[in-house]
């Protein structure tokens, strides 16, 4: 007879491990985030085979070798069920791969005072470094793949530059337009 666990939420992966391209001799870390009822157990796999001792929410390979290239997944289990992450590809290389933007930021329109977000996806040897640009000037502190603007106040072109490992190579992305709409002032209603 099967056991039934009442009130347990199955594990749900909320942040998948990410694919990476890294130089031989450098470290690599894969991380997963999950929701559901704890406690969770983790079982990391490379190319479908369990990795000995890899039983936490992160997997770190301290010194990469060419043979570490492959597809990495993690199986997360709790008392309700199990879920397997999407595969994350690890490419171990002997020479840096120049950065390239794989998904550019999309043009966005928001109402003045509302939040806005621009996102870019890039590939190349990691770590990738980002710098968002507004009207040809760097945006202070905007050095992640996502640019969050708490309250849009002005329009302007925004772009991202991705720099490869040790700043090898540059890739400049054409600007994505952020348009901020200022609605007309509301007029008071006339009384009949």
Mean pLDDT across 140-167: 69
Question: Which backbone phi and psi does 167 adopt, to 5 degrees?
Answer: 55, 40
According to the model, what pLDDT value does residue 85 have? 98
Region of poorest pLDDT, from 43-52, 99-108, 161-170, 183-192: 161-170
The domain spans of the chain are 12-93, 100-181
According to the model, what pLDDT value does residue 163 have? 46
Residue 135 has, within 13 A of its CA and on its CB side, a CA count of 4
Rounded to whole angstroms, the Cα distance separating 90 from 24 reads 11
Higher pLDDT, 63 or 163: 63
pLDDT tier at 191, thresholds 50, 70, 90: low
* Tens digits of residue pLDDT in 174-186: 677 777 887 777 7
Mean pLDDT of the chain: 84
Strand duo 116-119 + 146-149: pairing: antiparallel
According to the model, what pLDDT value does residue 87 have? 97
Q: pLDDT > 90: what percent of the chain?
A: 43
**Is residue 167 scored above 50 in pLDDT?**
no
For residue 102, the surrounding DSSP H or E stretch is strand 100-103
Q: 12-93 with 100-181: one CATH topology?
A: yes
Question: Which backbone phi and psi does 166 adopt, to 5 degrees?
Answer: 55, 30
Q: pLDDT > 70: what percent of the chain?
A: 83
**Is residue 1 scored above 70 in pLDDT?**
no
- Rounded to two decimals, the pTM is 0.61
User: What tokens does 22 get?
Assistant: 């890294």
- What is the third-level CATH fold of 12-93? Immunoglobulin-like (2.60.40)
Mean pLDDT across 30-37: 96
CA-to-CA dists, residue 148 to 36, 141, 143, angstroms? 28, 11, 11
pLDDT tier at 169, thresholds 50, 70, 90: very low
Mean pLDDT across 19-46: 95
- What is the third-level CATH fold of 100-181? Immunoglobulin-like (2.60.40)
Helix (H), strand (E) counts: the chain: 0, 20
According to the model, what pLDDT value does residue 165 have? 38
Mean pLDDT across 4-22: 87
What value, to the nearest 5°, has the Cα angle with vertex 9 and ends 60 and 18?
25
């Amino acid at each position: 007879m099967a056991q039934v666990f009442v009130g347990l939420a199955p594990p749900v992966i909320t942040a998948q491990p990410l694919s990476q391209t890294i130089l031989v001799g450098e470290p690599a870390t894969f991380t997963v985030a999950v929701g559901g009822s704890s406690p969770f157990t983790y079982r990391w796999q490379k190319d479908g085979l369990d990795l000995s001792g890899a039983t936490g929410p992160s997997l770190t390979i301290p010194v990469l070798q060419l043979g570490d290239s492959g597809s990495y997944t993690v199986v997360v289990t709790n008392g309700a069920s199990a879920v397997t992450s999407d595969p994350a590809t690890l490419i171990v290389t002997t020479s840096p791969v120049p950065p390239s933007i794989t998904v550019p930021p999309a043009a966005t329109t928001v109402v003045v005072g509302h939040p806005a977000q621009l996102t870019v996806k890039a590939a190349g040897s990691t770590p990738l470094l980002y710098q968002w640009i507004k009207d040809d000037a760097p945006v202070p502190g905007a050095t992640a793949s996502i640019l969050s603007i708490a309250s849009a106040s002005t329009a302007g072109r925004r772009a991202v530059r991705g720099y490869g490992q040790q700043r090898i190579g540059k890739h400049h992305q054409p600007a994505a337009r952020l348009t901020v709409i200022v609605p007309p002032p509301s007029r008071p209603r006339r009384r009949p």
